[in-house]
Amino acid sequence: MGFFDRFKKSKETETKPGKKPSEKATQASSPQLRSASGEVKKSKKKTGLATFAKSDLGRAPQVIIHPLISEKATELNTRDQYVFKVKNETNKVEIRKAISRIYGVTVTGVRIINLPRKKKRLGRFQGYKSGYKKAMVSLKKGDKIELLPH
């Protein structure tokens, strides 16, 4: 049971009163780096994204789901407008910040379309295809986003 091993106290980290913790115990609890002059520096944890720190992106990856590639969206790309599928609970301000943080461009306008759910039928069974929110983003003249199909 690997999950419950997290809650068990290891023998290395336990210390008895009056004894100093061993070097292994202190290294296990906090990773440290030693510079050439002998100074101890704490190491930074790596983030999941290679080019950005997590704090730089903020909530941006949770706002934008993926770019939409269609005939109309491709036509809009020539006019510096791009179409994205976004989360249903986001607003124009969050979308503007997310696009500028992820792609590093200047956003001049955001338009939002709320697409409703659609009835779908297969034989005698009926259901719904879920609706979604679509954002059309206008960029400053000269800014480009390189889009790839999702």
Token pair belonging to 137: 């983003």
Check if the beta carbon of residue 27 is closer than 8 Å to that of residue 34: no
Residue 108's domain comprises: 54-139
Q: Cα 140 from chain centroid? A: 24
Does some domain include residue 43?
A: no
How far is 100 from 83, CA to CA, in rounded Å? 14
Residue range 100-141, pLDDT digits in tens: 998 899 999 999 999 999 999 999 999 999 999 999 999 999
Note the pTM of the prediction, 2 decimals: 0.59
Token pair belonging to 29: 């609890």
Residue range 10-55, pLDDT digits in tens: 655 555 566 555 555 545 444 455 555 556 555 444 433 335 555 5
Parallel/antiparallel/unpaired status of strands 132-139 and 81-86: antiparallel
Does some domain include residue 99?
A: yes
Assign residue 107 the CATH number of its domain: 3.30.70.330
Does some domain include residue 41?
A: no
Q: Identify the helix (H) or strand (E) that includes residue 25.
A: helix 23-29
Q: What is the pLDDT of residue 59?
A: 75
Does some domain include residue 36?
A: no
Does some domain include residue 11?
A: no
What is the number of structural domains in the chain? Answer: 1
Q: What is the pLDDT of residue 48?
A: 33
Beta-strand runs (E) in 38-106:
40-42, 64-67, 81-86
